Amino acid sequence: MSPINPRLFGIDFSSSPSKRKPIAVAVAQWNGAVLQVDELWSLPTLNEFLHLLNTGEPAHATGRSADQIHQLGLPFVAAIDMPFGLPRKLVDGLQWPGAGRTDFSAWCDLMQHYCAMSREQIRATFKAWCDARPAGHKFAHRACDGPAGSSPSMKWVNPPVAYMLHAGAPLLMRSGVHIPGMQKGDAARVALEAYPGYLARQILNRASYKSDDKNKDTPDRRQARTELLNAVEEGMLLGIRVQVRPYLRPKLLEDAKADHLDALLCCLLAAWAFKQRQLRQDMHYGMPARIDPVEGWIVGVPPL
């Protein structure tokens, strides 16, 4: 049984979070037919992210221990902007654990192998793969990358999503969250892969709305963030109308990096996915019925 009205988290993940570049979290809950966004959190460490996965609360929110909170069973559905898997072609080609397999333990075996490697080993392995292939076909892609317009999860720079997987996958495993099609975990704590760019492009096309360098923020980018937030609030994405508390809007609009705005888009995907589970009794939260456990799938992207 899925929870009646769990907390909904949208998470913009960072493989090396800090106070300057924390993991951004948007927190919401269904209020009738409206998605009510109540809080924006910043998690400066991976341990705080793990605490959130374990408990459904940030470490600073309560004086209870993690074990006490875990026993209370605070339910959530979290959509996280990080890859959960690797391309099947890559895994089979390298003959890593999970090659040729589609059972549930394939993902765990693969991630244990992958996360035991250093970043330097990952970069060298992936670079050798790319160097051996012709221009235009360097990277291996997952089935969901094309329709989502996302970067291949083996990419180690611009953006370094391979390192995001390397940092995040062990925490997903340790927390015991349920990942449809990949990890059979606690059904009250559900984690889904998200990609906010998929939603942003539906409003802005290819217009830029963010920059990691605040000195490169422009009036056009600020206007794009305003258009995107207005579209979210007006229900132009996924048919979901969103109410953002007024005091949160400056944080969403003024940040040149748009981390919390991306987290809000992920939160919208978490809300949509939960509705698929509740209204359609969809155990896969709107994702394909058959998910390759090595690759995973990005929530909200239509099945092929």
What residues does each domain of the chain span? 7-83+192-279, 88-163
pLDDT in tens, 105-117: 999 999 999 999 9
Range of lowest pLDDT (2-6, 59-63, 211-215, 239-243): 59-63
The pair of structure tokens assigned to 69 is 């909170």
Q: Cα(13)–Cα(166) distance, rounded to whole angstroms?
A: 12
Report the share of the chain in percent with pLDDT over 70. Answer: 94
Of 290, 243, 296, nearest to 80 (Cα)? 296
Per-residue pLDDT, averaged over 206-228, amounts to 95
Query: What sign results for the dihedral spanned by CA atoms 67, 69, 71, 76?
Result: negative
Q: Which helix (H) or strand (E) holds 178?
A: strand 177-178
Q: How far apart are alpha carbons 221 and 218 in whole angstroms?
A: 5
pLDDT digits (tens, 9 = 90+) for 247-300: 999 999 999 999 999 999 999 999 999 999 988 888 999 999 999 999 999 999
Question: How confident is the model over 132-149, as a mean pLDDT?
Answer: 96
* Mean predicted lDDT score pLDDT of the chain: 93
State residue 3's pLDDT score: 58
Whole-angstrom distance, CA of residue 57 vs CA of residue 83: 23
Tally the C-alpha atoms within 13 A of residue 203's C-alpha that lie toward its C-beta: 23
Q: Identify the bridge partners of residue 195 per DSSP, sorted by sequence position.
A: none
Which pLDDT belongs to residue 247? 95
Tell me: the pLDDT tens digits for 9-21? 999 999 999 999 9
Distances (CA, A) of 151 to 43, 140, 208: 24, 10, 16
pLDDT single digits (tens) 23-55: 999 999 999 999 999 999 999 999 999 999 999
How far apart CA 221 and CA 209 sit, in angstroms, is 4
Q: In terms of pTM, does the model score above 0.85? A: yes
Q: Taking a C-beta distance cutoff of 8 angstroms, is the pair 258, 225 a contact?
A: yes
